Amino acid sequence: MARLFLGFDASTQSLSSVVIDYDLRKVVYEKSLNFDQALPQYGTRNGVLPNPDPLIKHCPPLMWAEALDLLFAEMKKDGVALDKILAVSGSGQQHGSVYLNKKAPTILARLNPGRSLVENLDGVFSRKTSPIWMDSSTAEECAEIRTQLGGVEATALATGSDTFERFTGPQIRKFTKTIPAAYMRTSHIALVSSFLASLLAGKVAPIDHGDGAGMNLMNIHKKVWLPAALAATASDLKLKLPPLAESCHVIGPVSPYFVKKFGLNPEAKALVWSGDNPCSVIGLGLIREGMVAISLGTSDTYFGTMRKCRTDAHGEGHVFVSPTGDYLTLICFKNGSLAREKIRDACGIKDWEKFGEALKTTLPGNNGGILLPWFEAEIVPRVNQPGIHRFDLDEKNAAANCRAVVEAQMMAVRLHSQWMKVAPKRILATGGASQDSPILQVMADVMNCRVERIEISKSAALGAALRAAHGWLKQAEEKPEWEQVVSGFTDPVSNSEIRPNPTAVKIYDQLIAKYAACEREALKQLG
């Protein structure tokens, strides 16, 4: 009999599902439901509630619950063999929080299939909206918690990251400061991931270590709640948080609600959910130290895996926990495609093909010309004042500027990932710009590492389904190895490998010191 596993991904704009046939090594079903289009009654734009304050980004948690009902109905309609699913897990946008009152355990245990999830959840929330990862309204709370924990380095060392506006701890602190009565009425704080897992399991679900690490509340080394961080955040917080659990943790059988209403297998196990980044790490097959991925999108994101926990003393990068039990590092550079595009347009170059030609006709190292493309305030390194900085580079030399922007982005990745002390063994490139091999050649040369392209459209949902498979096999005492679990699902595009050119590698080994000096100089000028 086919062994089928179901993975969800509750991202910012949509809820997706992926079903895998584990033995055929195949994704047999995938579907997405866009919140704005499928659930217009919630009034979201790109998945977020409009707010006059641009720093505030909230969502209605009921919308996620209704989306779960709708997606199950779609799967049933599409003839998905829900009665054969062995285990279910999911991925949620990280950091977002959901606030439930003391009725939650009873309501979750008695979900009535004769009514919708929305009707069932009536009266369960102590806060109608959920702050999500795009919210940046908690600068004051970040500063307060960071001070209590002893500064940037100490905070990162203890929790895996410096305090960040979107992280759950600062968000909870703002909630208790601004609406203390509603905080008092809150008995259970969930993440987006653990809220949806709670619906599937019919009980308050644990938070997995991967998503727990995005809260500024977990001891990243021991993977337990950190008393000093809880105390710095809000009173009685420990009582309101669920337990932490490994990512393979089975909460229990799925709630009868889904069995009776949609025909889900009554024996199916509900696993804890995790964050989208920990799930994507599995969906991209990054299961051993040294395996990294760079997603070249609006912003560029570097994901890596490391065995031993090291944290970034400058507080720019994040350390989360990977579903494999290793650590996952994430560094987000805000000026990604946007910066490449701005330079391309400023140089009067029309398309990416011509941009690629400009890279091919210029020399690695750009004769020492450096460009810092901080069109937007940058996250890594921290730059509050946007601006473009050129060193030994003629603004009018179009081709040299195209090379300079890509070299700067890759040197920034190399420089600002050094704290991990893990040399990448293979880089997987994803995202729009990964189609352009001249850009990937610069990546391979600067990083001195082979680069391959990977095209997986729903890596977080696939990662969740693979986690479900892993957790189920583990419970069945089949001692699954991660290599075996992901094999066949996460292969890079064939013949896409780009190898570093040894001459170029030597040039960048020298140039990186100049690049670092230019960054220091520009940051000094900005004060």
Q: Which stretch binds ligand XUL (CB under 6 A): 93-101, 202-210, 375-383, 451-459?
A: 93-101
Residue among 240, 250, 241 nearest 270 (CA): 250
Interacting residues with ligand XUL between 197 and 256 (CB under 6 A): 214
Beta carbon of residue 310, minimum distance to ligand XUL (angstroms, whole number): 18
- The tokens for 510 are 């020298």
Residue number with the smallest Cβ distance to ligand XUL:
94
Beta carbon of residue 163, minimum distance to ligand XUL (angstroms, whole number): 13
Which of 57, 58, 95, 269 touches ligand XUL (CB under 6 A)?
Answer: 95
**333 near ligand XUL, judged by CB under 6 A:** no
**261 near ligand XUL, judged by CB under 6 A:** no
Cβ distance to ligand XUL smaller for residue 141 or 436 = 141
Taking the C-alpha atoms of 46, 49, 50 and 55 in order, what is their torsion angle to the nearest 10 degrees?
Answer: -100
Beta carbon of residue 318, minimum distance to ligand XUL (angstroms, whole number): 6
Which of 57, 58, 127, 166 touches ligand XUL (CB under 6 A)?
Answer: 166
**416 near ligand XUL, judged by CB under 6 A:** no
**16 near ligand XUL, judged by CB under 6 A:** no
Cβ distance to ligand XUL smaller for residue 274 or 437 = 274
Cβ distance to ligand XUL smaller for residue 297 or 386 = 297
Beta carbon of residue 64, minimum distance to ligand XUL (angstroms, whole number): 14
Residue 288 and residue 14: Cα distance in Å, rounded?
Answer: 30
Cβ distance to ligand XUL smaller for residue 209 or 318 = 318
Beta carbon of residue 94, minimum distance to ligand XUL (angstroms, whole number): 3
Residue 411 and residue 333: Cα distance in Å, rounded?
Answer: 12
Cβ distance to ligand XUL smaller for residue 135 or 407 = 135
Provide the 3-class DSSP secondary structure of residue 187: coil
On the question of a cis peptide bond just before residue 243, with omega within 30 degrees of 0, the verdict is no
**Residue 335, CA distances (Å) to 101, 132, 418 in order:** 41, 22, 20
Residue 38 and residue 473: Cα distance in Å, rounded?
Answer: 35
- The tokens for 341 are 């595009």
Pairing of strands 250-253, 269-271: antiparallel
Provide the 3-class DSSP secondary structure of residue 83: helix
**277 near ligand XUL, judged by CB under 6 A:** yes
Beta carbon of residue 399, minimum distance to ligand XUL (angstroms, whole number): 34
**57 near ligand XUL, judged by CB under 6 A:** no
Chain CA centroid to CA 20, Å:
22
Whether 292 contacts 413, CB under 8 Å = no
Cβ distance to ligand XUL smaller for residue 125 or 133 = 133
Beta carbon of residue 316, minimum distance to ligand XUL (angstroms, whole number): 12
Provide the 3-class DSSP secondary structure of residue 377: coil
AA letter at 470: H
350 by Cβ neighbours in 10 Å (0-12 / 13-18 / 19+) ranks as exposed
Residue among 168, 163, 211 nearest 10 (CA): 211
Provide the 3-class DSSP secondary structure of residue 295: strand
**276 near ligand XUL, judged by CB under 6 A:** yes
Beta carbon of residue 275, minimum distance to ligand XUL (angstroms, whole number): 6
Q: What is the maximum alpha-carbon separation in the chain?
A: 71
Q: How many residues bind ligand XUL (CB under 6 A)?
A: 10
Interacting residues with ligand XUL between 115 and 134 (CB under 6 A): 133
What are the φ/ψ torsions at residue 267 (nearest 5 degrees)?
A: -85, -10
Cβ distance to ligand XUL smaller for residue 48 or 259 = 48
Interacting residues with ligand XUL between 289 and 308 (CB under 6 A): none
**93 near ligand XUL, judged by CB under 6 A:** yes
**CA quadruple 120, 76, 265, 70: dihedral sign:** negative
Which of 16, 94, 129, 186 touches ligand XUL (CB under 6 A)?
Answer: 94
Binding string, residues 457-496; x marks residues near ligand XUL by CB under 6 A = ----------------------------------------
Cβ distance to ligand XUL smaller for residue 8 or 133 = 133
Work out the angle at residue 501's Cα, subtended by the Cα atoms of residues 496 and 507, and round it to the nearest 5 degrees.
140
AA letter at 360: K
Q: Which stretch binds ligand XUL (CB under 6 A): 275-283, 336-344, 420-428, 491-499?
A: 275-283
β-sheet bridge partners, residue 292? 427
Q: Which long-range contacts (CB under 8 A, 24 or more apart) does 387-392 make?
A: 387/522, 387/526, 389/518, 389/522, 389/525, 391/514, 391/518, 391/521, 392/367, 392/368
What are the φ/ψ torsions at residue 327 (nearest 5 degrees)?
A: -105, 150
Beta carbon of residue 11, minimum distance to ligand XUL (angstroms, whole number): 6
Beta carbon of residue 319, minimum distance to ligand XUL (angstroms, whole number): 11
Q: Which stretch binds ligand XUL (CB under 6 A): 46-54, 89-97, 196-204, 393-401?
A: 89-97
Give the Cβ contact number of residue 435 at 10 Å.
Answer: 14
Residue 326 and residue 324: Cα distance in Å, rounded?
Answer: 5
**275 near ligand XUL, judged by CB under 6 A:** yes
Chain residues that interact with ligand XUL, rule: CB under 6 A: 93-95, 133, 166, 214, 275-277, 318
